[in-house]
Amino acid sequence: MRQAAQILAALAAGLTFGLGLAVSGMLDPARVRGFLDVAGAWDPSLAFVLAGAVAVSALGYAAARRLQAPAFAPAFSIPTGQRIDRPLILGAALFGIGWGLSGFCPGPAVAALSTGALPVVVFVAAMLAGMAAHRLLTRPPEARPAVTDVPAR
């Protein structure tokens, strides 16, 4: 019963998030690129979406500090890392470059799959391939899958 409640809560949160992205215009790559083009034809409308997201997040963190645990999990999972290191900077740069070039970031891209547009499908496929490559390349050697030698013919 608890697992079903967790799944339903996650589904409701995901649908609400996706609907919010669609209503706010975050699924339109041209609009996102317009927001990111601060030196050109800047479209500031998504700044209100960003401000709303920050406000909701702040309320969520404030609630998490007051509660002992979330409704459907034994504990909150709040990031504790505070170090700014090379992988963080490189990852943020890659994320920003990808977002600026494509007009998509992961959440809106997954939500935009509902449109069936080929560019979205290609972006999500490339994103998943990049995630898989990162997972494979950043594992310690002993945790990587073994490569079997195939005899030459």
Question: SS3 letters for the chain?
Answer: CHHHHHHHHHHHHHHHHHHHHHHHCCCCHHHHHHHHCCCCCCCCCHHHHHHHHHHHHHHHHHHHHHCCCCCCCCCCCCCCCCCCCHHHHHHHHHHHHHHHHHCCCHHHHHHHHHHCCHHHHHHHHHHHHHHHHHHHHCCCHHHCCCCCCCCCC
pLDDT band at 1 (very low <50, low <70, confident <90, very high): low
pLDDT band at 93 (very low <50, low <70, confident <90, very high): very high
Instruction: Give residue 62's pLDDT.
Output: 92
pLDDT digits (tens, 9 = 90+) for 48-75: 988 999 999 999 889 888 998 888 888 8
Average pLDDT on 79-95 reads 88
This model's pTM is above 0.85: no
pLDDT digits (tens, 9 = 90+) for 8-41: 999 999 999 889 888 988 888 888 888 888 888 8
Predicted confidence (pLDDT) at residue 94 exceeds the cutoff of 70: yes
